[in-house]
């Protein structure tokens, strides 16, 4: 007999299933599940195109540079609305060419059997979001190299357009626009070829070292070290520009770009070490098995007194008749006024099953790690046919993350190609 009117609703939620029901195929992560989130603007050839919120900053910076500086200086005498129209057109064309750079990566990656979730444009350029990386040095080299080639091609197209426009007596502002778009794409290609991971040049360097040594880990260590060095060098240039040249805005931009590159390089190597540690593990290996549970009709006052104050846990799975129906956390109790504890039960304050991330015991830990950030509770329930078998928290994962540091100075292993993991390929940076 149910002691609380909400318990039937809890049972209904259990029948509806969790955020990812055991035995059901999980859809690919959305853009918000990646390191960047933003606005989906459409798709091209099956690739979802997303604008990160930071992209609007760089869009208006480039628009202001075109309309307020470059065009008035090199095509004087035009009406102000004309500068605005040409500046807007030039900014859009530049990002179209940047998107073309990323699409080149995406098309080649897909031809190599790599699933590409989509493309995101953000403040420092763009990235092709992939579910895995190349499995051979040759594939890595081709995927990385095609991006700068695409930028060189766009530079040539815009340069030819400027030449033709000059010969045909085209509007001076349009010629200036084409010339600068050619220059920007050429600069983008050169910058991306710098040998620092995760730039395309760093990936080319990694592919070459991987081919020579047969060790992906050693190749990544060298390429990411070069990437950190490149980032620190760019930061140094920015500081020099501010102190010696008085170029505060430009110097600050260099510092931001350098910091981003050095941070991304370090994170990329740690990600590879993490794959080495977690690649052979499943949720069953890392979970806390047979966790203590509470019922949905347990009064909150008893939950606090008999569980949270008597046991060293910050959360308890909620089960009924052996079936998991939700999760209750210490923070949810704290959010409930103490004077309401006596009149409320666990079902009133818990997170229902539809909002809890649930995985099967054999789910690879790399997928578990990716999904740990999906729920607000930072915990994952492990269930087999709706029967709870364990729980995974950030603490459980941290214990394994600590082991990744043991791999950092261990000797490289030959043919260490563990690649099938959620990953993000970063490319197409702006200077």
What is the chain's mean pLDDT, rounded?
A: 83
Q: Is the pLDDT of residue 14 over 50?
A: no
Q: What pLDDT shows up at residue 400?
A: 76
170 and 64 share a domain?
Answer: yes
Question: Worst-scoring range by mean pLDDT, 204-208, 230-234, 325-329, 337-341?
Answer: 337-341
Q: Is 301 a catalytic residue?
A: no
The whole-angstrom separation of Cα 198 and Cα 365 is 24
The whole-angstrom separation of Cα 197 and Cα 174 is 36
Which of 352, 354, 355, 309 shows the shortest CA–CA distance to 334? Answer: 309
Q: Which residue has the higher pLDDT, 412 or 136?
A: 136
Question: Worst-scoring range by mean pLDDT, 61-65, 92-96, 411-415?
Answer: 411-415
Radius of gyration of the chain (CA): 27
Confidence of residue 389 (pLDDT cuts 50, 70, 90): very high
Q: How many helices (H) and strands (E) does the chain have?
A: 15, 12
Give percent of the chain above pLDDT 70.
84
Q: Is the pLDDT of residue 423 over 50?
A: no
CB atoms within 10 A of CB 397: 20
Contact 117, 28 (CB under 8 A): yes
Q: Is the pLDDT of residue 343 over 90?
A: no
The whole-angstrom separation of Cα 92 and Cα 90 is 5
182 and 75 share a domain?
Answer: yes
259 and 292 share a domain?
Answer: no
Domain that residue 351 falls in? 7-25+282-404
The whole-angstrom separation of Cα 181 and Cα 97 is 9
pLDDT in tens, 250-291: 888 899 999 999 998 988 888 787 777 777 889 998 898 999
CA angle 101, 105, 110 (to 5 degrees): 145
User: End-to-end CA distance of the chain, in Å?
Assistant: 67
Cβ neighbours of residue 366 closer than 8 Å, sequence gap 6 or more: 275, 278, 279, 420, 421, 422
CB atoms within 10 A of CB 244: 9
Is residue 412 domain-resident? no
Q: How far is CA 71 from CA 39, 90, 305, in A?
A: 30, 10, 71
Catalytically annotated residue among 12, 16, 25, 102:
102
Q: What pLDDT shows up at residue 17?
A: 46
Residue 316: give its domain's CATH number.
3.10.580.10
What is this structure's pTM?
0.72
Q: How many domains does the chain have?
A: 2
92 and 237 share a domain?
Answer: yes
91 and 164 share a domain?
Answer: yes
Q: What pLDDT shows up at residue 190?
A: 96
pLDDT in tens, 151-198: 999 999 999 999 999 888 777 889 999 999 999 999 999 999 999 998
310 and 368 share a domain?
Answer: yes
Confidence of residue 25 (pLDDT cuts 50, 70, 90): very low
The whole-angstrom separation of Cα 163 and Cα 166 is 5
pLDDT in tens, 310-342: 998 889 999 998 899 999 999 999 999 988 888
Cβ neighbours of residue 415 closer than 8 Å, sequence gap 6 or more: 214, 215
């Amino acid at each position: 007999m149910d002691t609380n009117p909400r318990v039937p609703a809890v049972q209904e939620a259990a029948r509806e299933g969790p955020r990812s029901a055991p035995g059901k195929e999980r859809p690919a992560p959305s853009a918000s599940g990646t390191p960047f989130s933003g606005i989906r603007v459409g798709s091209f050839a099956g690739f979802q195109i997303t604008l990160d919120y930071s992209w609007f900053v760089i869009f208006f910076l480039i628009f202001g540079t075109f309309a307020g500086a470059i065009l008035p200086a090199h095509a004087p005498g035009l009406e102000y609305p004309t500068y605005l129209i040409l500046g807007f057109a030039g900014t859009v064309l530049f990002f179209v060419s940047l998107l073309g750079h990323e699409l080149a990566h995406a098309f080649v990656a897909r031809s190599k059997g790599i699933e590409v979730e989509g493309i995101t444009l953000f403040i420092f350029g763009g990235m092709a979001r992939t579910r895995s990386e190349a499995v051979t040095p040759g594939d890595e080299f081709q995927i990385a190299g095609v991006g700068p080639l695409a930028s060189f091609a766009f530079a040539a197209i815009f340069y030819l357009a400027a030449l033709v426009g000059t010969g045909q007596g085209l509007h001076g502002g349009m010629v200036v626009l084409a010339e600068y778009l050619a220059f920007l794409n050429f600069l983008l290609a050169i910058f991306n070829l710098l040998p620092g991971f995760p730039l395309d040049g760093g990936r080319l360097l990694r592919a070459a070292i991987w081919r020579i040594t047969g060790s992906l880990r050693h190749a990544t260590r060298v390429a990411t070290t070069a990437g950190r060095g490149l980032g620190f060098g760019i930061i140094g240039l920015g500081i020099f520009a501010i102190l010696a040249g008085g170029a505060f805005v430009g110097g600050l931009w260099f510092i931001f770009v350098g910091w981003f590159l050095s941070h991304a390089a370090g994170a990329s190597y740690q990600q590879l070490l993490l794959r080495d540690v977690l690649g052979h593990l499943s949720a069953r290996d890392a979970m806390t098995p047979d966790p203590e549970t509470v019922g949905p009709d347990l009064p909150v006052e008893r939950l606090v007194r008999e569980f949270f104050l008597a046991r060293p846990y910050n959360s308890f799975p909620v089960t009924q008749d052996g079936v998991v129906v939700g999760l209750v956390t210490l923070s949810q109790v704290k959010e409930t006024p103490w004077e309401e504890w006596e009149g409320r039960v666990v079902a009133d304050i818990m997170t229902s099953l539809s909002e809890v991330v649930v995985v099967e015991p054999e789910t690879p830990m790399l997928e578990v790690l990716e999904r740990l950030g999906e729920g607000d509770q930072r915990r994952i329930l492990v269930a087999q046919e709706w029967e709870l078998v364990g729980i995974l928290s950030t603490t459980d994962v941290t214990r394994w993350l600590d082991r990744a540091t043991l791999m950092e100075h261990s000797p490289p292993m030959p043919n260490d190609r563990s690649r099938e993991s959620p990953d993000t390929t970063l490319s197409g940076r702006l200077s």
